[in-house]
Chain A
């Protein structure tokens, strides 16, 4: 048999193969890859820390690592996962890659700024790794004072500087997204014709730009307090440790939405495509994204119901937290309604999207539980809270990220991965996830506090279960790494639009040419113009 060498048309990948061309690229699609590779590294680093933690927690006594090590592990896990994986995950990879393609633009508004964002991220990453190599920190990702400012003896300054730099990276990304969406839309692409993915990135970008500076200032104050002893969080010098919590959560609650809104955007794209239907309630969905982003700024005090803030402040924060849950609820209902009278198929991205909806629902409902003041007094700082936010962050965002990666992988690489393996991985992750985190809800209700290296014996059974689940989850996460890499080389050609999807990104070749579109498209209709056949089975 003779093989005919296929020469692919020039695209953004085969343009130039040198490392230098990658490190100096200002192509948003290549920058997306720079991010993809770097955040994957941090995902597995944070995951490795979690693996050792679950190993330790499988039994009640502290027998695998020392307390010191354990404390450094959970701090590393939190810092790596929040700032080096979750915050940049969908925005900096899929967002970077897709935003210009989805709005019919040739690049971001500020391509060089975009590259600078990645370099800032890389510098931040170097700080973080230096911090780890120099011994790490044991403050937790929350850096509560006065422990972090006066007592902890790890590399706190290195850690906070790293996070501040990472913060600037996400501010610049946010800025770029906002300007791009305002200024670079193709002719005819009005706001109400934007795909929800773009709306989600836009809402996220607003939070990034408005909230992250507060984080930078707050963490800077910790560094100053450690180096110069300015005393702003030190009661002995008239400072207030609780002030730190206010400032920290003023960023970190909205940051929770940085870590979930992009996922909601991804899922809206996937569900419409695999149900072959227009999204149910487009206006409501877009509005809900913005509402969540804005109200999300007013609920930070729900982290402090037992920290001694005024009772009435707590009640108001609780009320606002219930209100912010309503738009999230609307979204879940609308996704369900989108399936109604659709023509549903279950390829890998759809399995992840459905998994997202289910796990996000559980995370959201238990969020309502912890927003209830009297109940939160009991479950606050226990494993109940751990389970709750992992259902949102991992069950939600990571599922959405994987779903998005599988959905747009053919666009990004031009290749298809083996769908069977994709489905196996999706189901493994779903099962492993629930086994890991569901027992933690029960542990939390029973009173097991978070950040415990050792614990009373009666919590052992549930912890062992959770650790067993974690091993399945870990296997589930390694699978895509294997078959996605495999597909890069051996996957069949995908063609421009393997899912028969509707967005503008599917109208260019896969992988897209460097300039995205030969001719800038003109948009004449709303997104998700899937036409479901009316009265019989779908021929698709």
Chain B
């Protein structure tokens, strides 16, 4: 039920994403392992200390096979630790990249708020509406310092570092309204850089999106910017300058001058616009000017959305 907070009790943190179940399984297993070790160790320490306290009549002839004992518990400890490591690393690696078909939403962190923009151009601040059961990929940028996108109910957190786009992704599994925190200290109002993620049934989500009027899709806004910033003069059809066409390049590999190959993803596009001289496409002159300092994160994300939306020109592979 959007509007009410699903997290008013401290009893248990809701598990609202598919990842949450799996992280909790590990967390609580670790908790029990820890508890067991604490009981054993404290038991030994308190037991020995009390039983062998000074003044008691005890057999104190010790013939413990020292080395054997030490080797035994070191190996046991190592094996326990290695299995925890492997289990956790497995989940971490698996959860590190989003599925291909994920719903994309753009987000920008700035001192001290979160701004989001959906594909159709619907914007919100400190609120993020997402549909239930659909993998969601939030492409994050920051306008100033490092922030961190943290949704405890999803057991998910991602730092957003200036100069890079970062992806936070999750599959919401429970309808409700959950905390969104900034987890990386970012200055004065860090503790007020909070919001909510609202998980809705899919139809509700569609209806919610449709409730916005007069919005223009991200790609359409990007298209306008493409001519506004003069990209079209070089990259557009019929341009006199020798510049690569941008249609359909997203997800492909491009050969770079110098022989290496780059895969075109969001960060590649971002870098191509802000620091074109660093990744020159093979066969072209490095004549593209850098747009660093001239295009802000919000316009960058629109341009990127536009380039991603372009399909390959007719006849191209």
Question: A: which residues have CB within 8 A of B?
Answer: 62, 67-68, 71, 138, 140, 144, 146-147, 150-152, 235-236, 238, 240-242, 275-276, 280-281, 284, 305-308, 311, 314-315, 318-319, 322-323, 325-326, 329-330, 332-337, 339-346, 354, 357-358, 361-362, 365-366, 368-369, 371-375, 377-382, 442, 445-447, 449-456, 458-459, 461-462, 532-538, 540
Contacts and interface: CB of A to CB of B under 8 A. Distances in A.
Please classify the interface of chain A as helix (H, G, I), strand (E, B), loop, or mixed, using the class held by over half of its residues.
helix
Contacts of B42: 358, 361
B10 to A, nearest CB: 5
B261 interface: no
Given A152-B187, A337-B64, A340-B62, A374 B88 contact: yes
Contact of A311 (B87, B93, B157): B93
Q: Which 9 A-B pairs have the closest CB atoms?
A: A447-B152, A235-B163, A373-B92, A372-B88, A339-B48, A452-B191, A374-B91, A322-B81, A341-B62
B92 A330 contact: no
A330 B53 contact: no
B242 interface: no
Most chain B CB within a 10 A radius of its CB, from A62, A305, A373: A373
A361 to B, nearest CB: 6
Contacts of A322: 81-82, 84-85
Given A447-B152, A456-B194, A374 B26 contact: yes
Contacts of A340: 48, 52, 62, 64
Contacts of B61: 341, 534-535
B188 A67 contact: yes
Contact of A315 (B7, B59, B92): B92
B186 interface: yes
A421 B186 CA distance: 44
B98 to A, nearest CB: 13
Contact of B89 (A241, A307, A373, A534): A373
Contacts of B53: 343-346
A281 B70 contact: yes
Please classify the interface of chain B as helix (H, G, I), strand (E, B), loop, or mixed, using the class held by over half of its residues.
mixed
25 contacts: A150-B145, A235-B162, A236-B292, A280-B64, A306-B158, A315-B89, A315-B93, A326-B81, A334-B70, A339-B49, A340-B62, A362-B34, A365-B34, A368-B34, A369-B34, A372-B85, A372-B88, A377-B92, A445-B13, A447-B150, A447-B152, A450-B185, A452-B191, A453-B191, A535-B59
B78 A151 contact: no
Given A151-B187, A307-B159, A451-B190, A341 B74 contact: no
B147 to A, nearest CB: 10
Interface of B: 7-10, 13, 22-23, 26-27, 30-31, 34, 37-38, 41-42, 44-45, 48-49, 52-62, 64, 66-67, 69-70, 73-74, 77-78, 81-82, 84-85, 87-89, 91-93, 95-96, 111, 144-146, 148, 150, 152-153, 155-159, 161-164, 166, 179, 181-192, 194, 275, 292-293
A14 B121 CA distance: 80
A511 B67 CA distance: 39
Contact of A368 (B67, B84, B192): B84
Contact of A362 (B38, B153, B164): B38
B187 A537 contact: no
A241 to B, nearest CB: 6
A173 to B, nearest CB: 31
A368 B91 CA distance: 16
A147 B182 CA distance: 14
A449 B26 contact: no
A380 B148 CA distance: 10
B146 A146 contact: yes
A458 to B, nearest CB: 5
Nearest to A312: B93
A333 B158 CA distance: 37
